[in-house]
């Protein structure tokens, strides 16, 4: 079972739909109404941090989940979720000079696990006004835009992955494959 922690974002429903299309059971829980004990009881195989409004610090439960579960359960951070992972491990985020709301960009990747079987250049949907400024040293940059804005990352030693874009969007043609790659990892 996949646990999707909802950070009050309308895209969370799309993530759960795509997860079910991939053939996986999922449970959606509001991050602000969930405890670490609740997650223990659910015993998820994977956790997804949904996108959400504001800054990662507005959604502190993600930090608690990383502190408690990051050595045991694979986690995928989407948009705000990726930013939270980066900050938790010592990286920084900043305002993007060019907010990207409902726009597509070409990204390039290094064929890491999330991008297995996906062309080295592909289109993704972006909905964000913050971006990673300094990547945490415990992460590897795995995808980027032509102007080197971080679009995906993976942790050096833990099963933690982040994408700045929205794999659940119809504007991300290979998004379903990216989610499948995470679920099968």
SS3 56: helix
Q: Would you state the structure tokens that stand for residue 125, as one six-digit string? A: 């949907």
Residue corresponding to tokens 């079972």 = 1
Supply the residues annotated as catalytic.
79, 166, 168
Contact status, residue 171 vs residue 126, Cβ threshold 8 Å: no
State the greatest distance between any 2 C-alpha atoms of the chain, in Å, as a whole number. Answer: 43
Residues 6+ apart with CB under 8 A from 2: 19, 24, 25, 26, 27, 44, 45, 46, 47, 48, 183
Q: Is the dihedral of CA 130, 182, 12, 40 positive or negative?
A: negative
SS3 23: coil
């Amino acid at each position: 079972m996949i646990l999707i922690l909802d950070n009050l974002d309308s895209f969370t429903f799309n993530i759960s739909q795509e997860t079910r299309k991939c053939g996986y059971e999922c449970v959606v829980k509001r991050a602000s109404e969930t405890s670490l004990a609740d997650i223990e009881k659910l015993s998820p195989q994977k956790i997804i941090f949904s996108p959400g409004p504001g800054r990662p610090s507005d959604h502190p439960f993600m930090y608690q989940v990383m502190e408690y579960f990051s050595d045991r359960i694979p986690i995928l951070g989407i948009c705000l979720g990726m930013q939270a992972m980066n900050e938790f491990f010592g990286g920084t985020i900043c305002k993007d000079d060019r907010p990207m709301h409902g726009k597509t960009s070409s990204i390039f990747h290094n064929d890491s696990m999330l991008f297995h079987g996906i062309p080295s250049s592909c289109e993704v949907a972006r909905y964000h006004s913050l971006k990673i400024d300094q990547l945490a040293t415990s992460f590897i940059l795995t995808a980027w835009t032509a102007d080197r804005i971080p679009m995906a990352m993976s942790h050096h030693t833990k099963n933690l992955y982040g994408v700045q874009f929205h794999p659940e969007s119809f504007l991300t043609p290979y998004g379903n494959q990216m989610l499948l790659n995470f679920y099968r990892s």
